């Protein structure tokens, strides 16, 4: 099945299936579009893929990223100063999907999508090959209008679940998830951490009871040791702040990111 013919949901499933067949965790890499500058986004996305990333999260910059810590906030501020819009993020997604067989999801806040128009976004994004969206400030209970448009074109809206999510809410919402289930490793905002939460195992177990979809753990995962510790517990890891930190600190930014991602991928092998 070609990338053009497959739906977003199918492409996401295929990425996790390939990682599983290779006996490793899938690696999702988040990068803010337009950071550190507009021109370097494409080369960084391709460097992440060359390092072994299975899925890409393209960060849509926003002025009030309430779920994000200092690293992503700073990247978002720079990207906005560089004039990046949702349209630019869609263009980057289209470019990379046309070249590489890697699912791309956009991660951003409600306002840019609502202003663009949920129906217009779905109509434009699906033919470009965007597989889905993650919208941290759009609860599932309020997402019906967006979900309807995305479902119609085979795209996934992926919810975030925190360790504090009650069992009742998990039982009600997780079974109708699409794409994958995104578990947040801690209560708080994004950002590299030295250790993972002590309750990650029990939390993932609570989620696992309600779905056969892949489970991805994100927020705070920043080094290969974290990935190694999660083998056998989750199906994938999402890494954002640490990837941006690797880019920020390097002179040869694509090479540094490629090496960083490769280390995560190797750490996730059984």
**Active-site hit among 10, 50, 57, 149:** 57
Look at the block and give the residue holding tokens 């501020």: 77
Look at the block and give the residue holding tokens 């991805």: 216
**Active-site hit among 22, 50, 64, 68:** 68
Which helix H or strand E contains 106, and what residues bound it?
A: strand 104-107
Among residues 84, 30, 32, which one has the least CA distance to residue 57?
Answer: 30
Which helix H or strand E contains 203, and what residues bound it?
A: helix 200-208
For residue 15, give the 3-state DSSP assignment: helix
Alpha carbon of residue 226 to chain centroid? 17
Residues 6 or more apart whose CB falls under 8 angstroms from that of 2 comprise none
CA–CA separation, 177 and 209 (whole Å): 13
Assess whether 235 carries a catalytic annotation.
no
Assess whether 54 carries a catalytic annotation.
no
Contact indicator for 161, 207 with CB cutoff of 8 Å: yes
Alpha carbon of residue 237 to chain centroid? 9
CA–CA separation, 45 and 57 (whole Å): 9
Among residues 135, 133, 73, 141, which one has the least CA distance to residue 104?
Answer: 133
Q: Is 52 left (phi over 0), alpha (psi -120 to 50) or beta?
A: left
Which helix H or strand E contains 116, and what residues bound it?
A: helix 110-116
Active site residues: 57, 68
């Amino acid at each position: 099945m070609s990338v053009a013919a497959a739906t977003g949901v199918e492409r996401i499933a295929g990425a996790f299936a390939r990682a599983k067949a290779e006996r490793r965790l899938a690696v999702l890499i988040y990068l803010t579009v337009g950071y550190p500058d507009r021109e370097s986004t494409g080369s960084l996305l391709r460097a992440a893929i060359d390092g072994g990333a299975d899925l890409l999260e393209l960060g849509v910059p926003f002025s009030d990223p309430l779920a994000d810590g200092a690293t992503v906030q700073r990247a978002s501020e720079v990207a906005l100063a560089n004039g990046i819009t949702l349209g630019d993020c869609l263009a980057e997604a289209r470019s990379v999907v046309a070249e590489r067989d890697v699912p791309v999801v956009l991660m951003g806040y409600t306002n840019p999508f609502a202003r663009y128009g949920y129906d217009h976004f779905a109509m434009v994004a699906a033919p470009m090959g965007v597989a889905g969206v993650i919208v941290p400030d759009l609860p599932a209970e309020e997402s019906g209008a967006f979900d309807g448009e995305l479902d119609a074109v085979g795209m996934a809206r992926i919810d975030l679940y925190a360790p504090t999510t009650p069992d009742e809410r998990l039982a009600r919402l997780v079974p109708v998830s699409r794409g994958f289930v995104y578990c947040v490793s801690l209560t708080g905002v994004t950002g590299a951490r030295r250790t993972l939460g002590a309750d990650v195992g029990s939390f993932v177990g609570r989620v696992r009871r309600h779905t056969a979809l892949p489970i991805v753990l994100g927020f705070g995962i920043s080094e290969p040791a974290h990935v190694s510790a999660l083998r056998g517990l989750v199906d994938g890891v999402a890494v954002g702040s640490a990837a941006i930190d690797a880019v920020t600190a390097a002179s040869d930014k694509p090479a540094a990111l490629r090496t960083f991602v490769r280390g995560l991928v190797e750490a996730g092998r059984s």
